[in-house]
Copies of this chain bind each other. A is one copy, B any other.
Amino acid sequence: MAGPLTGVKVIDVTTNISGPTLTMVLADLGAEIIKIERPDVGDDARGMGPFIEGEGVYFLHINRNKQSIVIDLKQDEGKEIVYDLVKNADIFVENFRLNKAEKMGLGFNRLKEVNSALIYCSLSAYGQEGPLSDRPGYDAIAQADAGIIGINGAEGAEIARVPVSILDQGSAMWGVVGILSAMLHKEKTGEGQHVTTSLYETGVFWTGYHMLSYLATGKEPKKNGAGHTAFAPYGAFLASDTHLMIGISNNSLFKRLCSVLGKDEWLDDPRYSSNQKRVENQSELKTAIENILYAKIAGEWVELLAKSGVPSSKVKKISEVVEDEQTKATNMWSDLPHAKIENLKLPRLPFELSQSPTEMTQGPPLLGANTVNILSTLGYSKNQIQQLKQNGIIQAAEKQISSH
């Protein structure tokens, strides 16, 4: 069984987090990714620590299943190689600053001349238009601009970004959705197209519910900690050792919670008789719940609540998640071969296909590991390749890898 994108060829000039995440998804789906990197340093993410055997973990995370070719795109001969690659490709992905690809001769319209059916994806910081469109993209900065940081944390809490890259990786996911949609359009019409997305648009869309709430009520959405504006009891509650999360969204779950806590009498308490009442009296209710939770450790409560079908969980550490039985049972980790790292393990994509499964076959490439092989396949002679090397147009890693 082969991945659904087997046979699809992607030319990837992206760096850092958003673009490489996008092409990683295509790679795991079976596409062949030719990752073009700049001389000497390559993708900036290679230098983002911490490091395993000199390789940055962020780079390692999102560049498996790719081939690396080093080309100097500032030189015309370098661009010519890209045009050659694009001729035989299905998809081109870039995450330069807005309009930089055009200035480099690698814009959508230029590459369409080379390959009329090309699907071309631009992943930018703030979108294709507007007063912020020429700004560079950083996940945390765009989180602030999109209103996400303003509502993150408990009431009065110090400013904090969402600690996972929901704009870098979120925009990558939307880019994938756009590209796959464009592929379906191409199956029907033969036509390529320009797919665009950005960190900012992704951020605004994440806050959709809050924006609509604001429009419905005129009230400014506020920091709400672990709680939920619409439900109670909902949030983090302290047991004898640490906090657990409890989420009660209706009367039936509240009844089960009362039963586990030995407080069936709360069902007749007018302060707690409906979700609305519980929201009104939530701080009293929280104290009452914590007075009971104090008798046991969080882990015990989570088991008891789970048995009664009450949604709850411990607030787990990252180390606990890595080792968790649920993480193991869902096979989230795989071993991957790597030129320098012996036991490289990476998490798989979070979905599965029964008939055309995603795959992780090869660890992230060393810089320029596939330069010679990719050019040979394109028809460049040994002499030409030698010449390009001498002229500083390309670079190759010492140990060259043949394409799989």
Contacts and interface: CB of A to CB of B under 8 A. Distances in A.
Interface string A208-246: 111111111100110111101010001110000001110
Nearest to A201: B350
B160 A226 contact: yes
Given A29-B181, A177-B180, A311 B158 contact: no
Interface string A137-174: 01011101111111111100111111111100111011
Contact of A131 (B202, B221, B325): B325
Contacts of A249: 138
A124 to B, nearest CB: 10
A345 B215 contact: yes
A136 B310 CA distance: 8
A320 interface: yes
Contacts of A210: 163-164, 318
A392 interface: no
A245 B144 contact: yes
Contacts of A153: 152-154, 157-158, 160
Contacts of A299: none
A356 interface: yes
Nearest to A55: B216
A207 B5 contact: no
B152 A160 contact: yes
Contact of A177 (B25, B135, B151): B25
B247 A129 contact: no
Contacts of A48: 230
Interface stretch (A81-89, A185-193, A260-268, A286-294): A185-193
A48 to B, nearest CB: 6
Given A208-B61, A230-B48, A185 B315 contact: no
A341 to B, nearest CB: 10
A162 B173 contact: no
Interface residues of A, number: 142
A351 B159 contact: no
Given A140-B247, A185-B356, A313-B141, A330 B127 contact: yes
A195 interface: yes
A375 interface: no
Interface string A307-340: 0010111111111111011111110100000000
Contact of A347 (B149, B204, B224, B321): B204
B245 A140 contact: yes
A197 interface: yes
B170 A209 contact: no
A157 B159 contact: no
Given A149-B226, A191-B355, A353-B182, A57 B209 contact: yes
Nearest to A163: B151
A311 B135 CA distance: 7
Contact of A206 (B158, B169, B188, B313): B169
Contacts of A171: 350
Contacts of A187: 184, 187
A50 B216 CA distance: 7
Given A4-B182, A174-B173, A347-B204, A313 B213 contact: no
A150 B184 contact: no
Nearest to A314: B144
Nearest to A48: B230
A131 B235 CA distance: 23
Contacts of A247: 138, 140-141
19 contacts: A48-B230, A60-B212, A128-B352, A138-B247, A140-B235, A141-B247, A145-B324, A146-B316, A146-B321, A147-B318, A152-B162, A154-B159, A161-B235, A198-B330, A201-B332, A201-B351, A204-B321, A204-B347, A211-B318
